[in-house]
Structure 1
Amino acid sequence: MNAKRKGSAPTSHDPDSLPEITDAWIAQADLHHGDRLVRRGRPRLANARQLLSLRLPPQVIARWKATGPGWQTRMAQALEKAAPKSEQ
Structure 2
Amino acid sequence: MSKVSKRPVIRMPTAAEDKAITAAAKSDPDAQPLTPTQLKAMVPLRSLRGRPKSENKKLLISVRYSPEVVAYFKSTGEGWQSRMDGVLRQYVSRHSRSA
TM normalised by structure 2 equals 0.43
Question: Which has more helix, going by share of residues?
Answer: 2
TM normalised by structure 1 equals 0.48
